[in-house]
Amino acid sequence: MQLPIHLSKESREPIYHQIEHQLKALIASGHIQAGTALPSIRGLAKDLEISVITIRRAYQNLEYQGFIETKQGKGTFVCDIEDALKQQVKINSVYETIERSIETAMSYNYTIEQIEEIFHNILMNYKKGE
């Protein structure tokens, strides 16, 4: 199974973190259903062109947090997670995405006020669109 994971090497966020977050988002949003078998560590390593060491780290973190479980000799599967946790993940991922765009704006030396204005404009456009 190919997972829609897109890694950014430019990001300051470590690769294993990116994988962990994106997998969490895929699970929380219901893209991958509970009980689905995830690709093997080696298989995902090949698809993402990342070493198994990094993939294993992401999988271990996800397992620790109860998103996935490994069944000996069978593979890794998505767990049935609580709605509260799903909500938490969704909120987190939205926060993180916005934080990242703010970081980008800051790196171009925009002031907080200018960024506020940009956000405001974008939101206004969306409202008009509706």
Partner 1 sequence: MQPFVEITQVKKKIDNFHLGPIDLTIEPGTITSLVGNNGSGKSTLMKLMMNLANSDSGIIKLFNQNVSGDEEHWKSFVAYQSQKMIGWDAFTGEKLKDFIAPLYEQWDEQLFQRLVELFAIPLDQRFSKLSQGSQQKLTLALTIPRNTALLLLDEPTAYLDIPAKNHLMDILVEWMDQGERSIVIASHQIEDIKKLSDYLFVLRNGEMVGNFEKEALTERYKRYWLRNELTESSIPGEVFRDRVQVVSNHPEATEHYLRENGLQWANQSSLDLEEIITFLLSPTR
Binding site for partner 1 (CB under 8 A): 9-10, 14-15, 40, 42-43, 45-46, 49-54
Q: Which is nearer to partner 1, 31 or 42 (CB)?
A: 42
Q: Which residues contact 85 (CB under 8 A, 6 or more apart)?
A: 28, 66
Least separation in angstroms between residue 107's CB and partner 1 is 9
Least separation in angstroms between residue 54's CB and partner 1 is 5
**Could you tell me where the beta strands, DSSP code E, fall in 8-63?**
37-38
* DSSP secondary structure letter of residue 109: T
Q: How far apart are CA 130 and CA 11, in angstroms?
A: 33
Least separation in angstroms between residue 42's CB and partner 1 is 5
CA dihedral 105, 108, 114, 115 (to 10 degrees): 0
* DSSP secondary structure letter of residue 39: P
Q: Which is nearer to partner 1, 58 or 81 (CB)?
A: 58
Q: Which is nearer to partner 1, 8 or 87 (CB)?
A: 8
Q: Which is nearer to partner 1, 26 or 41 (CB)?
A: 41
